[in-house]
Structure 1
Amino acid sequence: MSLLTLLPFIVLIGAMFLMTRSAKKKQQQAVEMRNQMQPGSGVRTIGGMYATVKEVNEDTVLVDAGPGVELLFAKNSIGAVLTDDEYNRIVHGVEHDLKSDADIVPDDASSLTETGDSAADATADDKAVDLGKKDAAEEPADDAPAGEAKTDEEPKKTDGDSEAK
């Protein structure tokens, strides 16, 4: 046999090796993450439930899912161990402020460029602009009296049928 006939088999075995290697690496990272759990850590289960770890055993984890609700999970069912900031943001809606309140940008950029005099002028110049389309039925025809629409056009078909079949 020549080397050329063995080449597809070698490539296939190499691809299988690389795929199993990356899967083992991900599995090892998950085991390390689960071993880092400590009481008080925020976790997300593989089912999407957020809870706080109360107790970590060899194969199980006791979590507090709410006032008076303690649940026992297998360690493998913990999908992620969250940082305190991430857990508080998701569960309690608390955003961790990294900036002071002085750095907040206003919603209206005009306050950044206007002086005191131009603010009064800008409100006087504001006019409502109608950007909506007007129907042909609303506009009066050139030779028809006001209030009557053109009726010489054929009604349009609405059922999607066409005459050319």
Structure 2
Amino acid sequence: MNLVTLLPFIVLIGAMFLMTRSAKKKQAQAAEMRNQMQPGTGVRTIGGMYATVKEVGDETVLLEVAPGVHAVYAKNAIGAVLEDAEYNRIVHGDDDTDTVVPDDASSLTGDADAADGQEGAAKADLTKKDAAPAADSEVEKDGKADGETEAK
């Protein structure tokens, strides 16, 4: 066999080796990160939920997702273990800057009354205005239902 013929296969095998090596390295880093979890640590799940670790088991972790609300998650569902400062900045809004982010869009509309959620909010009209006439009214007009033909 010619070396030129084998060259594409050698390159393909080399690329596959490098990709699997990179993936194994990432998996090892993720496992190490999950092993660093201790009660009181702030975490982000792979679904994007922020919570505080309460207990760590072999395969599961007990998270406090809200004060007094606990949920059991698989360890591999933890996407990131956060530093205390970062967790507090994201979850509690503890930030060194004076930026205030409102909970609603009242700052975008300029409506000060919309801050409480009810007053000043636009109400949607859910009634049908352009509804098609009812089928029985069409029958009354010409005396025939759709699909009926006059027998002769």
| TM-score bracket relative to the smaller structure | 0.5 to 0.7
Q: Aligned pair 1:19/2:19, yes or no? A: yes
Count, aligned residues: 98
| Matched AA of 1:78 | I
- Matched residue SS, 1:94: coil
3-state SS of paired residue (1:24): helix
Alignment of 1:79-158 (within 5 A): 79-96=79-96
Cα distance in 1, alignment partners of residues 90 and 96 from structure 2: 11
Q: Distance in 1 between matches of 2:46 and 2:2?
A: 50
User: Cα 1:96–1:34, aligned 2, differ >3 Å: closer, same or farther?
Assistant: farther
User: What percentage of residue pairs aligned between the two structures are identical?
Assistant: 76
Give the Cα separation in 2 of the matches to 1:87 and 1:46: 15
Task: List structure 1 segments (4+ residues) > 4 angstroms apart after TM superposition.
Answer: none
- Check 1:96–1:35 CA distance in 2 against 1; reply closer, same or farther (3 A cut): farther
Unaligned runs of 5+ in 2: 98-152
CA distance in 2, matches of 1:68, 1:86: 22
Question: Per-residue deviation at 1:96?
Answer: 4.4
Per-residue CA deviations over 1:76-102 (Å, capped at 9, x if unaligned) read 0000000000000000110147xxxxx
Structure-2 residue corresponding to 1:29 = 29
Offset at residue 2 of structure 1 (A)? 1.1
Aligned counterparts of 1:35 and 1:46: Cα–Cα separation in 2 = 16
Partner of 1:3: 3
Who is 1:62 aligned against?
62
What residue number does 1:38 align with?
A: 38
Aligned position for 1:114: none
Opposite residue 64 of structure 1, the aligned amino acid is E
DSSP-derived class of the 1:31 partner:
helix
The higher radius of gyration belongs to 1
Q: What's the counterpart of residue 48 of structure 1?
A: 48
Q: How many Å separate the matches in 2 of 1:16 and 1:67?
A: 47
The separation in 2 between residues aligned to 1:20 and 1:67, in whole angstroms, is 42
Confirm or deny: 8 A CA contact 1:85 1:96 kept in the other structure: no
Q: 2:47 is paired with a residue of what secondary structure?
A: coil
Q: CA RMSD in A?
A: 1.4
| Counterparts of 1:32 and 1:23, CA distance in 2 | 14
The 3-state SS of whatever aligns with 1:79 is strand
